[in-house]
Amino acid sequence: MFSYILKRILATIPVMAIVAVFVFLLLRLTPGDPAAILAGDAATPAQLERIRDRLGLNDPLHIQFFTWIGQMLHGDLGTSLISSTPVAGMIGDRIGPTISIAIMTIIISVLLAVPMGVIAAWRHRTWVDFLVMSFSVLGFSVPVFVIGYILIQIFAIELRWVPVQGYAPLSDGIGPFMTRAILPSLTLATIYVALIARMTRASMLEVLGEDYVRTARAKGVRENVVLFRHALRNAAVPILTIIGTGFALLISGVVVTESVFNIPGIGRLTVDAILARDYPVIQAMILFTAGIYVFVNLIVDVSYSFFDPRIRY
């Protein structure tokens, strides 16, 4: 297991290197000029040219690339061209809200979706199954911002149980944190509940037809034990995969939800950086996202063996 994990970690190096080259070139080939954003609308072409010189944007591409790679190898993510702020600090400020919302979303989703999927499979082709699948289609189909606005209207404006917007870190207390994180998490959870419930149902349907399930039932094992200990555990691999991918997606930023609830997270940071062509921030964010995906996939792969002992590395 240890050597497997080590190999996987080493394998991330070429992956990240390819992502770095690709992102760097892609950004330089995209139209746009950070100097123009920095200087504003009234700057003359000559002023822009001087600013580009100062920012190193007129240097040959290979010089710019090696300067950036050199910084990265020294653990320096660079400085924002627009705000002159260290990129690492910018990501550090924004990652907290994103991770908090992602964890809460996944917890809500798993708590709701797994039992829903199991019950739908158990009551296959009954009204319960139909109800779960209908919710699932709804969760997929309704745009996330619509759900967000509906929840705001009901819980923040009509009932006034929670604020309309904003984020409070856990260090401000569980109350402020929960009241601000619950609506965005519920909003995002609608998609993930739909996704995980469908996946759970499909996997469970496959497993419930297996001989060992029939045997367990024939032995008189209680139905909840059959479902949750025998069947669900064997159906867990695809469910874990979808939870892992979902978590990585949430960490890499959910810009619409962050905008609707005014959460200063990673998604808004990335979109703002793209609109301003703030190269160091975009490059760092894409590498960061790639790293998250690699890490989450590793965790998911390792966790397979926990649920299915037949899987060995």
Partner 1 sequence: MQSLKPLSCMKRSLAAAFVAGGVLSAPAVANAQDDGKTITAVMHSGLRVLDPIITTAHITRDHGYMIYDVLTAVDDNFEPHPQMADWEISDDKLTYTFTLRDGLKFHDGAPVTGKDVVASLNRWGKRDSGGQMIFDVTESLEAPDDKTLVWKLSEPFPPLLGVISKQSAVPPFIMPERVAETSPDEPITEYIGSGPFVFNKDKYEPGASVTYDKFEDYVPRDEPPSWMAGGKKVNVDHVVWTTMPDNLTAMNALAAGEIDYLEQVQVDLLPVIENAPNVTVEMGDPLGFVTIGRPNFLHPPFDNKKVRQAALLALSQEDVLATMMGSDKYYKVCGAIFGCGTPLGDESGSEPITSGAHPEEAKKLLEEAGYDGTPVVLMQPTDVVSLSNQPVVAAQALRQAGFNVDMQTMDWQSVVQRRAQQNPPSEGGWNIFFTNWMVPEISDPLINVMLSGRGDDAWFGWPEDPEIEKLRDEFAHAEDQEARKAAAVAMQKHVMDNVNYIHLGEYNMPQARRNSIQNMIPSPVPVFWNMTKEAE
CB of 256 to partner 1, least distance (A): 9
CA distance 116 to 132: 7
- Compare residues 7 and 222 and give the one whose CB is closer to partner 1: 222
- Compare residues 156 and 237 and give the one whose CB is closer to partner 1: 156
CB of 243 to partner 1, least distance (A): 16
CB of 62 to partner 1, least distance (A): 22
- Compare residues 59 and 93 and give the one whose CB is closer to partner 1: 93
Query: 59 and 279 in contact (C-beta within 8 Å)?
Result: no
Joined together, the tokens standing for residue 260 give 């609707």
CB of 287 to partner 1, least distance (A): 19
CB of 195 to partner 1, least distance (A): 18
- Compare residues 163 and 291 and give the one whose CB is closer to partner 1: 163
- Compare residues 81 and 286 and give the one whose CB is closer to partner 1: 81
- Compare residues 71 and 297 and give the one whose CB is closer to partner 1: 71
What is the contact surface with partner 1 in residues (CB under 8 A)?
A: 31-33, 36-48, 50-51, 53-54, 80, 82-85, 90, 93-94, 111-112, 115, 118-119, 122-123, 149, 152, 155-157, 160-166, 174-175, 178-179, 182, 217, 222-224, 227-228, 259-262, 264, 268-269, 272, 275-277
CB of 227 to partner 1, least distance (A): 5
Per-residue DSSP letters for 201-241? Answer: HHHHHHHHTSHHHHHHHHTT--HHHIIIIIIHHHTHHHHHH
